Amino acid sequence: MPIHLRWELYPVPHESPSKVRYGGGYLEEELWWSKGRVTSVIGELKELFSEMLFIKRIYNNNKRLWALTYPFHLGIYLILVWFLLILLGSVTEVYAHIPVPSSNAWSIFLYYITIIVGGAGALLAVTGGVGLLVRRLINPVLRDYTIISDYFNLLIVLLALATGLASWFSDPSFNYARAFASSLLNPFMNPPQLNTVILIHVMVLQLLVSYIPFSKITHFIGKYFTYHRVLWDDEPSSSELSRRIEELMRLRMPWSALHIKSNGSWEDNARVINNER
């Protein structure tokens, strides 16, 4: 991949708190190249989690959009926690041989917290998702740069969420979900006979999981690179970086213009432009 364009916008969260406070960086120090760099992983994590958990940038720039996108994302986060709780419940039943629920305090906790987290996640995600879809349809600014695949991405996520919500109505205690997960953990256990609503939800969920790697829904993975490797990249130039730049500068330019020599390298054209100046 080509080398990204470094933004070099400050403050950078991995700088020391004293510099982050006013937007400074290590380059302002005298003889910075002769000193060891001090970076803060805690600062990066704090900024990253505040963005992931609270979607801070949208809140600061567009509070009306945040009022819809935050419950949507928060609901999805809760559903991911729900998956973990279902897994814990299944492990408790299969390996600890403790039914959920039972008189055991841990199983009682798992039983009720699973219902609360799963129900809240489904309601928040569906409400926020429907709101985002309606806003894209009626807001002329959003509608102008929303393409077909954006609508499709939102619709397939909403379909999975809506069928999941319907499954909860048909299985309010999530007993089917726990039994299904238990059957995956225990090869000698037969899976439960799922009703039609839950079966449709499982099929839609499998379709969504298969589709995600090929869609923009994977932006949550890309955030690592856009933040750590672009927005916060202020590493000093190294021999490796210089070597990569030299390789790219030798690439040929198959197009031409008044100031560009066709089939010349970037390096050759840059040298010609500098000589003319």
Q: What pLDDT does 109 receive?
A: 95
For the chain, residues classed under CATH 1.20.950 are 55-226
- For residue 157, the Cα-to-chain-centroid distance in whole angstroms is 14
Tokens of 12: 């950078």
Q: How far apart are CA 239 and CA 171, in angstroms?
A: 60
Q: How far apart are CA 208 and CA 118, in angstroms?
A: 19
Per-residue pLDDT at 197 exceeds 70: yes
Statement: 55-226 belongs to CATH 1.10.287: no
Measured between alpha carbons, how far is residue 218 from residues 1, 45, 74, 208, 215 in Å?
18, 20, 17, 12, 6
Q: What pLDDT does 269 receive?
A: 83
Greatest alpha-carbon pair distance for the chain in Å reads 85
Tokens of 42: 């805690």
Q: In the Cβ-directed half-sphere of 98, how many Cα atoms lie within 13 Å?
A: 16
Residue 88: pLDDT band (50, 70, 90) is very high
Q: How far apart are CA 176 and CA 186, in angstroms?
A: 15
In one-letter notation, the amino acid at residue 216 is K
Per-residue pLDDT at 126 exceeds 70: yes
Q: What pLDDT does 122 receive?
A: 94
Each residue's pLDDT tens digit, 26-81: 888 888 888 888 888 888 888 888 888 899 889 999 999 999 999 999 999 999 99
Q: Which long-range contacts (CB under 8 A, 24 or more apart) does 238-246 make?
A: 241/3, 244/3, 245/3
Closest of 166, 165, 199, 177 to residue 100, by C-alpha: 177
Q: What pLDDT does 261 receive?
A: 80
Q: How far apart are CA 217 and CA 157, in angstroms?
A: 9
Per-residue pLDDT at 96 exceeds 70: yes
